[in-house]
Amino acid sequence: MLNQIFRLNDIPSQHHSNFKHLYFDIAWFGVLSGSAVNFLSVYITRIGGTGFEIGLISAMSAVVNLLLAIPAGKWLEKRDTSKAIFWTSVVYRLGFFPFIILPIVFSEESQITAFILLTFFMSIPLTPLGVGFNALFAEVVPVEYRAHVAGIRNVMFALAYMLSSVASGYLLDTVSFPLGYQIVFAAGAIGAAMSSYHLYFVAPVMKGQAPPPPRIQPALPTPARSAARNFISALRFDIWKSPFRNVLIGLFAFHASQYLPTPLFPLYNIRVLGLNDNNIGIGTALFYLTVLLGSTQLRRMAHRIGNKVLTGWSAALMALYPLLLAGSTNVWQYYGISLIGGLNFAMVSGVYANYMLDHIPPDDRQAHLAWYNIILNASILIGSLGGPLLGELMGLSAALLLIAMLRFMAGILILKWG
């Protein structure tokens, strides 16, 4: 029955186990995202957090990732990718369990500081997890099935996100504060644990393939010069002289424009639109309803127009969400905007990793993905801190309009030069 649900009948049986566990991994991650992750910024807003403090949670994670991405890539090169991803996911996701008790242990002001610090420490194992997962995906999913698997993973994520988001929003409106948020954080922690459980079973099935030979650096006469040369070599600046440079620049523009409005959305939704938790839960569920519907067409669209073109146009159309939200005044408009935004997100979230992998040599994935992780986290850092700054300087609506223009330009950049 699962083979029919996941459309595995036409796929070689040796891949079935990996694909199923990848689907369940993302489904439980959807539970985590739709509950604890989705409502964390809402909770911080409700206890008096500012846009800067909301952005700082993401910024702290980005700083750690920027510092550790290259060492994490080198660390992963010497280890079994599947085992490394499993254990780093376990250590990272254990950090969600303290979320449950923070509302009753600390004052509201201290809670915000605690969330920021906890996110900082969780970012240490998150770095190799972020660097390595795309490499693991490339190792366990043959290129001809990547769009298929990415599309179904999007569907699974969307379903889990919708259900957990609606349930969380309803619960938060019916259970006293802060107990409702504690229950939501507990649901997220369980989802995190189950996601790691399924990652344990994901491993390459290809046999008889020798790993690529290690890159050997020539010996140098002194230890100091050797250490300096090894450090420079580890940074792999040669990647920026390859065609992959344009991919990195395009994805940097894309991610930066995606993260700029993230700290502004909860402020606009709560303080301008006056939405309650149930409204936000329904809105995010509608968003992921169209993510689900759009994901069913991902494989067909990717095969028809190619990963690059689909990435560029869907990234450009992501401008519609902040553009329309900036002019909205009521909950029904918010619901409609959520439906539109989800359709574009389904395409770009399911295809941009495949677009990137198309331009990475199979025998040098870790180093390329480490640089991608650096530009991703630089984007998060710029967006998390720059978004609140734009909001303060221009006002929320004007800032959202500017960000919409930047999103459109990022998509065009990928189409033209990516």
* pTM for this prediction: 0.72
Among candidates 26, 33, 246, which has minimal Cα distance to 133? 26
Q: By the 8 A CB rule, do 22 and 140 touch?
A: yes
* pLDDT at position 218: 41
The CA distance from 291 to 124, in Å, is 30
| Number of Cβ atoms within 10 Å of the Cβ of 228 | 12
Q: What pLDDT is recorded for position 9?
A: 62
Count of Cβ atoms closer than 10 Å to residue 273 Cβ: 17
Gap between the Cα atoms of 285 and 291, Å rounded: 10
| DSSP per-residue codes, 99-147 | GGTHHHHS-HHHHHHHHHHHHHHHHHHHHHHHHHHHHHHHHHS-GGGHH
Q: Give, in order, the Cα–Cα distances in Å from 101 to each of 17, 95, 181, 187, 341.
A: 36, 12, 10, 13, 34
User: Tell me: the pLDDT tens digits for 266-315?
Assistant: 889 988 999 998 999 899 889 988 888 887 787 788 888 888 999 999 99
d(CA 201, CA 199): 5
Is-cis flag, bond preceding 128, omega within 30? no
Query: What is the pLDDT at residue 1?
Result: 57
- The answer to whether residues 347 and 306 touch, using CB atoms and an 8 Å cutoff, is no
Q: What is the largest CA-CA distance in the chain?
A: 71
Q: Which two tokens stand for residue 111?
A: 């809670």
Q: Which domains are present in the chain?
A: 13-203+239-417 (1.20.1250.20)
Q: What is the pLDDT of residue 222?
A: 46
User: What gap in Å lies between CA 117 and CA 195, rounded to an integer?
Assistant: 24
Q: Which residues of the chain have pLDDT under 70?
A: 1-7, 9, 12, 206-235
What is the per-residue pLDDT for 5? 58
H helices present in 146-240, as ranges: 146-174, 179-199, 223-235
Q: Give pLDDT tens digits for 363-387.
A: 787 788 878 888 888 898 898 889 9
Token duo for residue 218: 């020539």
Which residues lie closer than 8 Å to 307 by C-beta, 6 or more apart? 147, 351, 352, 354, 355, 358
Q: What separation in angstroms does the CA of 116 have from each of 19, 58, 272?
A: 35, 8, 25
Res 231: pLDDT = 44
Give the relative orientation of helices 298-305 and 331-357 as an angle to the nearest 10 degrees: 50
Residue type, 180: G
CA distance 389 to 409: 21
The span from the CA of 190 to the CA of 240, in Å, is 40
